[in-house]
Structure 1
């Protein structure tokens, strides 16, 4: 099975983040020829995509043939009626990540690869169990982040409109808006409701920032990766090369709050740290396995510790899971989000689009990340107050020894550096 990796995304529906490359499918059937040019053709086009590509051959225990008969027996006087039926049809799959987008929604989803966008700066999804609208993660240094929105927050209202039963596309359309306009998100957190009034802004995102940190053990490289966008691997490569020139002894890679992004970006970055071994493999409903492996071109072999938390999702879980399974890195923090499904985004004939779950991904050892998440090697949680203090009040201390989780990572890294250094001396003495 050949997969065009650049059009695959990991993570829930994005308010602002994902960079998506799409290709046309060209699905046609005898039935579609009969409906050509009619709203019914669009309904059948979506049905065909699901029929041919959906990850579960049982269609989540739904008689998909019967669904086709039901929805093609209907008469549609306009596209709006067809759109409504398509959404109802897809809801039968009970999969929040397989979703339909009208032309404007589809256009909004195709975020410019430059990483420049307008909005509040969060990724949202539908919780599989509660069916509530949930924050995957706020993007660093955006209005939502500065307002105090956190991963796992439940959005119960948008400008006073209840989100009960609302899909992510509708939520996106309500949250987005012009620069300097305001939107109020009513958040449910730990059983308490709170309103967050946020001013929309133009956001320029640079996925990587890094620094050379002085520690008692010696200089180490700190790299924070905020998202797996189209330019993330290029920025990561530059960061590692620069830090290598500065003679760091080891690295801390910070994936906290990173909600994911593009598959190929996570694979390219994994290859910078890993010399050999499997990075990730995906399984479709046909039993096909697509495996990504290291290429022997890692940029460094120095010790690595990765910071993760509940906001580390999808592509973050691919990278951290790959390096953990290959014993290339030690993971410190708390359990990750748990999102292990692959979506392909398809344009439709009228300019609308559909995102369809086509595969599940697994770590090199075969772990199914979906719903389970990645368990760190060293569990080190912060209290709610510690998180607020670090991320909202004292942001400049993130990635310094005043950051409790970073300090723990440095402690673990120091042990690894000492062990590696001792091993090198021992080999030299032989």
Structure 2
């Protein structure tokens, strides 16, 4: 950003803070509430007014803040579960989550029905060993309800020093009935490998009429370095002569936008990976910096827990007819958040734009419908989606 532009932004931000302070003062005369963390609230008001995806009146924000007295109450005005304030501890936990290593129980989570929901327990972690399952609602952490709780605040409560214990109250639907139970889990240092891969061979792969070896690439989420790990995995699999690729994005809750853009560039020619639509409604194409198309038949596996960044990847590969999408309709998160550090040491994630897939399609609250729908029966000992994808891919290679 040029110096003059940066100075203008700072001046604009300062003016908005002053306006917000005046609006809060007048709102206080009406509501007279005790106010939490006023300097941070004013900073957040200015950011929302300048950067939020929809136009929001700073006066309305000030009134909501003065009436409720809390930053969380003020942000409820937006009716946006993805825009949230984090105090210093929560923001530190959030930043750790994008690096792939932290102390906790080893599950990815999101928001569903106003509660925290388990998206995926990672193998060989405390959460996995405790029997947590995708779709479990975490309705309380150490006895404190998670209803309407900011996701990062809940994550901060679930995490903690290795060796300490957290008690989760879980609601799970079994045989059409909701059952509630408590699970006591000992935290540990969690190292989540976001990329796993293997070369799949069978006895007929290289024989007469065989399809040849197939590469399998599983991405659990998009954290810092995921695209580089995926590139290294693809390079090794190509060296082994793979003839097709199965990309597994099931249970992937998303992650960093630049990482998914860099991943998609490894499968496509130079063209937009997605389009970003900001407050002015202008459609801005997003390109990668380096394109190296794989040029092999592809199948992508998705399910109802594939969200956000994983939907960007699935959408691009589907719209551009690079891959066949198989599985279940995806989660449907088509908004983009920007991370803003605050002067207090905390931070916020702010919805600053909506995105369209490479084909210009909006998927927010809609999801991506697979080309071929395949159910995964609950309790099935066989991964029928995986097997169906392999069968389809072998047919494409032949």
- Give the direction of change, closer, same or farther, for the CA distance of 1:245–1:136 in structure 2 (3 Å limit): same
What is the aligned partner in structure 2 of residue 270 from structure 1? Answer: 264
C-alpha separation in 2, matches of 1:342 and 1:227: 16
1:199 aligns with 2:186: yes
Alignment partner for residue 358 of structure 1, among 330, 342, 352? 352
Secondary structure at 1:414's aligned position in 2? helix
User: TM-score, with normalisation over the residues of structure 2?
Assistant: 0.84
For the pair 1:98 / 2:98, whether they are aligned, the reply is: no
Offset from partner CA, 1:53-92 (integer Å, 9 cap, x none): 11122x4xxx5423325647x9xxxxxx9xx522211111
Aligned mates of 2:315, 2:200 — CA distance in 1: 25
Q: Does 1:209 align with 2:196?
A: yes
- Tell me the secondary structure at the aligned position of residue 126 of structure 1: strand
Q: Distance in 2 between matches of 1:194 and 1:30?
A: 48
| 1:300 and 2:294 correspond | yes
In structure 2, what is the Cα distance between the partners aligned to 1:30 and 1:116? 38
Give the structure 2 partner of residue 47 of structure 1: 45
3-state SS, counterpart of residue 273 of structure 1: coil
- Answer with 232-241 or 296-305: which moved more: 296-305
Q: CA offset at residue 189 of structure 1?
A: 2.1
Shift of 1:237: 0.6
Q: 1:357 to 1:294 in 2, by over 3 A?
A: closer
User: Equivalent residue for 1:65?
Assistant: 59
Would the aligned equivalents of 2:268 and 2:322 in 1 still touch at CA under 8 Å?
Answer: yes
Q: What's the offset of the Cα at 1:244? A: 0.9
Question: For 1:294 and 1:106, how far apart are their aligned partners in 2?
Answer: 28
Q: 1:363 to 1:119 in 2, by over 3 A?
A: same
Gaps of 5+ in 1: 3-24, 75-80, 390-401, 419-430
Q: CA deviation at 1:41?
A: 3.1
Residues 173-213 of structure 1: CA distance to partner in whole angstroms, max 9, x if unpaired?
32111112222222222222233332211011221111111
Distance 2:16 2:51 in 1: 18
Bigger Cα displacement from structure 2, 289-298 vs 249-258: 289-298
Q: How far apart are the structure 2 equivalents of 1:123 and 1:333?
A: 20
Correspondence for 2:388: 408
How many residues are treated as equivalent by the alignment? 365
What RMSD in Å do the two structures reach over aligned CA positions?
2.6
Aligned to 2:26: none
The Cα of 1:329 is off from its aligned counterpart by 0.4
| CA separation of 1:121 and 1:234: change in aligned 2, threshold 3 A | same
CA contact (8 A) 1:275 1:296 kept: no
Going from structure 1 to structure 2, the CA distance change for 1:92 and 1:294 (only over 3 Å counts) comes to closer
> How many angstroms apart in 2 are the aligned matches of 1:34 and 1:146?
49
Name the SS for the 2:266 alignment partner. Answer: helix
Residue of structure 1 in register with 2:114 after alignment: 131
Structure 1 pair 201–166 and aligned structure 2 pair: CA distance change class (3 A): same
Once the 2 structures are TM-superposed, how far is the Cα of residue 369 of structure 1 from its aligned partner?
Answer: 1.6
Cross-structure match for 1:18: none
Greater RCO structure (CA 8 Å; 6+ sep): 1
Q: What is aligned with 1:178?
A: 161
Q: CA deviation at 1:260?
A: 1.0
- Paired residues for 1:12-411 under 5 Å: 26=10, 27-29=13-15, 31-32=17-18, 39-57=37-55, 59=56, 63-68=57-62, 71=65, 85-111=70-96, 114-127=99-112, 130-190=113-173, 191-215=178-202, 216=204, 217-293=211-287, 297-386=291-380, 389=381, 403-411=383-391
What CA distance in whole angstroms lies between the structure 2 residues aligned with 1:187 and 1:34?
41
- What secondary structure, in the 3-state scheme, does the structure 2 residue paired with 1:105 have? helix
Cα gap change, 1:142 to 1:290, in 2 (>3 Å):
farther
Q: CA deviation digits over 1:104-142, x for unaligned, max 9?
A: 212221117652211112233333xx3222233334443
TM-score calculated relative to the size of structure 1: 0.78
